[in-house]
Every structure is written in structure tokens, then in C-alpha cells.
Amino acid sequence: MSEDKVTIKISKDVYEKAKQYIEKYGGFNSVEELVEFVLNEALSEEQGEAQRVYSKEEEEKVKERLRALGYI
């Protein structure tokens, strides 16, 4: 899994704000997760594919359940 990841630097200020956001609203386990989500969303919006907001792994999980239930 780790070889699929790269390191990105962001300003401390934004990082702190992101941390506070998560503390306040929850929904994300880490700043990393939030950053990935927001970026993904921005990019998929650009491509007109707003529904592709989940990671590959999560999507695989969804497909597994759909297959198990006979939907695909």
C-alpha cells in the first residue's frame, strides 16, 4: 500500500485549519484523508465525474458487496 503513496508538503497554516476542521466536524480520520478527499473531489469535478470520490480500495469493497448480492 505504501508504494502507492507519495509525500506532499502543505503549509502549516492550512494543515492546522484542516485539523481543526476535522475536530469540529469529524467525518475524516486524518488530515491526509481530508486532503485526499478534497483534491479528489476537485479533480473529479473538473472531469465531470463527481461520483468518483472514493479510493480504489473502497470502490473495490463496494463492488464486492454488489457482486455478493447479485447486482453485478
Binding stretches for another protein (CB under 8 A): 25-27, 29, 41, 48-51, 53-54, 58-59, 62-63, 65-66, 69, 71-72
Rounded Cα–Cα distance for residues 26 and 21 (Å):
7
13 or 23, CB closer to another protein?
23
| Beta carbon of residue 3, minimum distance to another protein (angstroms, whole number) | 21
Helix H or strand E encompassing 62: helix 56-68
Amino acid sitting at position 3: E
11 or 47, CB closer to another protein?
47
19 or 63, CB closer to another protein?
63
Cα angle at 61 between 59 and 62, to 5 degrees? 65
Q: Cell for 53?
A: 470520490
